[in-house]
Amino acid sequence: MADLVLGLASSHSPQLSTPSDAWRERGERDKNNRELIGTDGIVSDYDGLFSRTNVERIEREITKEKMEERHQRNQKAISKLVDSLYKADLDILVMVGDDQQEYLQDDNMPGFCIYWGDEVKVSAHEAGPSTGNRLLIGYSTEDRTVPTDSNLGRHLIEYLVESEFDVGRSNFLDPNRGGRSKGGIGHAFGYVYHRLLIDNLIPTVPVMLNTYYPPNQPTPKRCFDLGRTLKSAIEAWPNKKRVGILASGGLSHFVVDEELDQLALEGMKSRSITKLSQLPREKINSGSSEIRNWVVVTGATEHLDMDIIDYVPCYRSPAGTGCAMGFAQWK
């Protein structure tokens, strides 16, 4: 039987792979976002958010020195995750992430979808307005085709259906379907290949969650239960393989909400379905919805101990926009 031996979680925001001297440029782009969820749960444009923010406090968070210090902490944490992946000697990595209409569209948006093809395309990164016309650190400028494990993917689908999870499935990413990824896997998964697996291209199984788009976002409890069932499925697979599971995304963004993040991390650390179910639903939308990916891995790793490698609130504008970067492992 297969063994689930490692859990990992990492933010994947492009800010993570952007030099700190360009963070304020990303903050300027936030002024075009009309659906920013404040720490008070109110949704507004940038000006509305600014009017409700303690700007004096945030200004102390976006000095050149502080942003560079946090950038270096992020890179150190990524290196620790890469080291853990290498030392675990995994045969397969199950990746839990969200698709932001990069492949899945409004014509068919399942709550959960498992990819079970034999391979998948990881799209090249190109500098553009969203990255301040800079290349992201560590990202490849060429498309790559990477291996996925169709046997484990199919087994997970069948096991989940028998466990009363009505999961979607895909074994082909159609480049003509109209999504932003043009036949490639979404950026939540692309980040893992670019920054974590790098040249250690073990087969993966992408598990896509609809964290972003109402009205069928799974509840935190459903995500926890999914994780538990994925663990059972992996351990019931009749192949002697070492398997890891990784959450890509989060924590709070596009407004940094340190209180929300600490509530979530406390619930994960204590493996408390009750605490995770009580996360304020109005706040776990937009970018912060990716906390759900971490909850899935928390449910899958109850037999392991969680180590929070670092929590780095990366502010980028006086209104408090940015991304709180989180990094964790379960061993």
Q: Give the confidence band of 181 by pLDDT, cuts at 50, 70, 90.
A: low
Summarised one tens digit per residue, pLDDT across range 293-322 is 999 999 999 999 999 999 999 999 999 999
**Cβ pair 289, 217 in contact under 8 A:** yes
Tokens of 299: 């449910």
Reduced to 3 states, what is the DSSP secondary structure of residue 178?
coil
State how far the Cα of 44 lies from the Cα of 46, in Å rounded to an integer. Answer: 7
321-330 and 119-122: which strand pairing?
A: unpaired
Tokens of 328: 């964790």
**Cβ pair 266, 295 in contact under 8 A:** no
Domain 3-330 bears CATH identifier 3.40.830.10? yes
pTM above 0.75, yes or no: yes
User: How distant, in Å, are the alpha carbons of 146, 151, 190, 247 from that of 118?
Assistant: 9, 9, 16, 21
Summarised one tens digit per residue, pLDDT across range 7-52 is 999 999 999 999 999 999 999 999 999 999 999 999 999 999 999 9
Summarised one tens digit per residue, pLDDT across range 223-252 is 999 999 999 999 999 999 999 999 999 999
- Kindly report the backbone phi and psi dihedral angles of residue 317, in degrees, each rounded to the nearest multiple of 5, phi listed first: -155, 160
Sign for the pseudo-dihedral over CA of 311, 251, 263, 268: negative
Residue 324 pLDDT > 90: yes
Q: Give the confidence band of 165 by pLDDT, cuts at 50, 70, 90.
A: very high
- Predicted confidence at residue 55, as pLDDT, reads 96
Query: Per-residue pLDDT averaged across 252-264, rounded?
Result: 98
Residue 254 pLDDT > 90: yes
